[in-house]
Amino acid sequence: MPTRRSTRRLHQLGFQPPAIGEDEIAAVTETLRSGWLTTGPKAALLEERMAAYVEAKHVLAVTSGTAAMHLALLALGVGAGDEVITSPITWPATANVIEHCGARPIFCDVRAGDLNIDTALIPELVTERTKAIMPVDIAGQPCDLDPILALGFPIVEDSAHALESVYRGRKIGSIADATCFSLYVTKNVAAGEGGLVATNRDDVAEAIRNMRLTRRGGGSHYDQVTQGFKANLADVLAAIALVQLDKIDDHAVTRERQFGLYDEGLADLAGITPLTRDPRDTHALHLYVIRVDAELAGADRDAYQHALSEELISTSIHFLPVHTLTWFRERYPDQPPLPEAEKAGDEVLSLPLSPAHSDDDILDAVDAVRRVHERFTA
């Protein structure tokens, strides 16, 4: 594909700005005027509508995706001395919440194509201490859930990237013991902050309800029946999320078109390869991630990121392997190498993607990648 035009941007292209408009502003204003600043009817409605959307019996709204994962693990009884098998290609929160429970994260290497956990390697990591498995749906591609389900352990799925995803005909949110979503500002449904736990298990739902906020009785009397946290979602944020949920299908169409522009525009660039998308599944199209092969692309990922920044194109990295970060590296010096994850950590680069972007914005990013590639491979 030839370069679309030679002109360069005059202003920075944001990486993943939220698509927020007058509808979200009106919803916040209405909520403020209602007097409900904390958890109230908007949060309850969000739970009801999200449960219908992901085809789960229960959805619990909490303060963040991190809180969702933490409470889900506790609800499944994960505690001191336990082990939870998870992926190293994720935001550190996935491993941090395992530590918060007193358990140890056991990192399993990933598949080269989509960077999801390599399910063929999980059985060799199972010990008598294994309490749960915590896979991650990277960029919106569901992990291979069936082999994990066959192992018989509780599953807490980190689906921060995967609200719209469908795995082999089943909605993500309807399969695992607990599926955790994020409402963070960059997510496909962006409330600024917030998280959701979807589950079909009554016991898990009840445990999270009890833990996310001290249970209250009538009048001034209240009681606490289990370990408690301050993890309830405010109605102001729920109001934003409800409007975003109304727009989810339209936004998905926009992101699908943007993915297509990237696929076409980058297809002939040696050493620039997008993550694979399984045609059997519905991908949430949350991130457009490429891998930069330094030998074929003429320079490494960091050089590409720097060069794109000079072209006024913002990018991000999803992700640096968690087990290589200082705290985890020092805490677990016996961690064996995870070659696929470590190689990916040197190569992955996420390009701008948002319903707030125009097609021309995405084509500007494509043109910039092509110019940088031409310079590095000359």
DSSP string for residues in 114-172: T--B-GGGSGGG--TTEEEEE-B-GGGPPP-HHHHHTTT--BEEE-TT-TT-EETTEET
Residue 2: pLDDT band (50, 70, 90) is very low
Rounded Cα distance, 204 and 73, in Å: 9
The model's pLDDT over 297-345, given as tens digits with 9 standing for 90+, comes to: 999 999 999 999 999 999 999 999 999 999 999 999 999 999 999 999 9
Rounded Cα distance, 83 and 81, in Å: 7
The model's pLDDT over 50-62, given as tens digits with 9 standing for 90+, comes to: 999 999 999 999 9
Rounded Cα distance, 194 and 64, in Å: 4
For residues 353 and 36, the model is more confident at 353
Rounded Cα distance, 177 and 202, in Å: 10
Residue 221: pLDDT band (50, 70, 90) is confident
- What top-level class would CATH report for the domain 248-377? alpha beta
Do 22-246 and 248-377 have matching folds?
Answer: no
What DSSP state is assigned to residue 324? G
Rounded Cα distance, 280 and 277, in Å: 9
- Residue 35 CB neighbour total at 10 angstroms: 8
Of 169, 105, 104, give the one whose Cα is nearest residue 142. Answer: 169
Locate the domains of the chain by residue range.
22-246, 248-377
SS3 call for 349: strand
Work out the mean pLDDT of the chain and round it to a whole number.
96
- Residue 11 CB neighbour total at 10 angstroms: 6
The DSSP bridge partners found for residue 84 are: 105, 132
**Cα-based torsion angle of the residue sequence 280, 285, 286, 288 in order, rounded to the nearest 10 degrees:** 110
Is pLDDT of 192 > 70? yes
**For 22-246, CATH number?**
3.40.640.10
Which residue out of 42, 57, 187, 247 is catalytically annotated? 187
Rounded Cα distance, 270 and 294, in Å: 10
187 assigned to active site: yes
Q: In the chain, at which residue ranges do the beta strands (DSSP E only) sit?
A: 58-62, 83-86, 104-107, 130-134, 156-158, 166-167, 170-171, 178-182, 195-199, 272-274, 288-292, 348-351
Is pLDDT of 208 > 90? yes
